[in-house]
Amino acid sequence: MLPAGQTVEAWTLVGRGGMVLEAITYGGIVTRLLAPDRNGSAGDVVLGFDDLDSYLGGHPYFGAITGRVAGRISGAAFTLDGDTYRLARNDPPNHLHGGIEGFDKRLWSAAPVDREDGAPSLRLSYDSPDGQEGYPGNVRVAVTYTVTNQNEFLIETEAVSDRTTPLSLTHHSYFNLAGESSGSIADHRLEIFASEFIPVDENLITTGRLESTSRHGNDFQTPRRVGDVIGQLHQGHGDLYALPKRNGDAMRLAARLEDPASGRVMTVSTTENYLQLYTGSHLNCSTKGKSGFVYARHAGICLECEGYPDAANAARREDILLHPGQTQRHATAYAFSVRPANAASEDKSPRSASIHYQEGTSRQ
């Protein structure tokens, strides 16, 4: 129950392929995601807490729906149709993930969805009033979680507004395919199917210009051990990758993550235009996680599918503007499979390789 007396519901979706998803209506937070390893043993692969109070006490967006706009808006303001909108500077000097009480801290309504294939599905709905956190327009949002028979965690979003407004949601789970209490994700192998990214400044604000990953240390077009790359990333954080253009409404492949030890493989597909990689560089939780462990730096990795984050950048924000009379729809799928032990990917990376960090504070 929330301090104001509202009831928070917990829902469980059990798939036929062995995947189990647990979510709560506070923030639409995915509190557990169980996926089988190569031996058939189910393990929880997302970071989080066992109790509601820990989520209410503050956390780095574990498993939440983030919005109205995921990411950072420079100067905590934007101008649209001649009007300037001032937003909360909750990541000074910028605005982050929808503000002080973004969608991650709102109570959503939940209802089960009947699908023809019988896959368990849950629709979360929320009405965001005009002026909430400084944004214009009354916005009606629905986010549907489905656990498919093929062990996919499918996220479908749709939204309408009575005024033009920026809207860009993302799902913010911290994944650890070895298990949420297993420590660092350094030995995970990551592949991102993008050849361009958008650099950021010292405040992690996107610059708006596209650059080739081939000239930087952030190229994941071939699988790389995460621990070998973190030290080459800006502030050890991760970058915003521009995904290739897609055909029609089909989802495109965005990323692939593998834990060689468990054999778990997660493939990410999306209709969104960008993938934000975050390595958990700022994790330093004071509250113990689900298994009684405190999550340290790089205990989880985020692969956030989203639109262009900085609504103040008029040249690039068109893909996130929601206009009256339009319905914004997007879909992202996190598909789980296993790689048999005798087919494990070859990893010649030295296990003793250390992770080096650049100076500076990284926030997510």
Torsion angle in degrees (nearest 10) through CA of 112, 116, 118, 124 = -20
Q: Could you say which of 97, 171, 172, 237 is catalytic?
A: 172
Place of tokens 């192998």: 189
Rounded Cα–Cα distance for residues 7 and 22 (Å): 17
Closest of 96, 25, 38, 42 to residue 66, by C-alpha: 96
Tell me how far apart the alpha carbons of residues 122 and 110 are, in angstroms, rounded to a whole number.
Answer: 7
Secondary structure of residue 360 in the 3-state scheme: coil
> What is the 8-class DSSP label of residue 301?
B
Q: Is 137 exposed, middle or buried (0-12, 13-18, 19+ CB in 10 A)?
A: buried
Which of these, 136, 131, 132, 159, lies nearest to 82 by C-alpha position?
Answer: 136
Rounded CA-CA distance 280/277 in Å is 9
Handedness of CA 188, 194, 196, 199 (dihedral sign): negative
Residue with the two structure tokens 């909360």: 88
Per-residue CA distances from 226 to 65, 176, 229, 359 (Å): 25, 12, 5, 19
Q: What is the DSSP string of 249-266?
A: T--EEEEEEE-TTT-EEE
Q: Which of 298, 304, 306, 330 is catalytic?
A: 304
Distance from C-alpha of 219 to C-alpha of 23, rounded to nearest angstrom: 33
Cβ distance 240 to 305 under 8 Å? no
161, two tokens: 């507004």
d(CA 6, CA 29): 16
Distance between CA atoms of residues 219 and 197, nearest Å: 9
Catalytic status, residue 196:
no
Residue 95: active-site member: no
What amino acid positions are annotated as catalytic residues?
172, 304
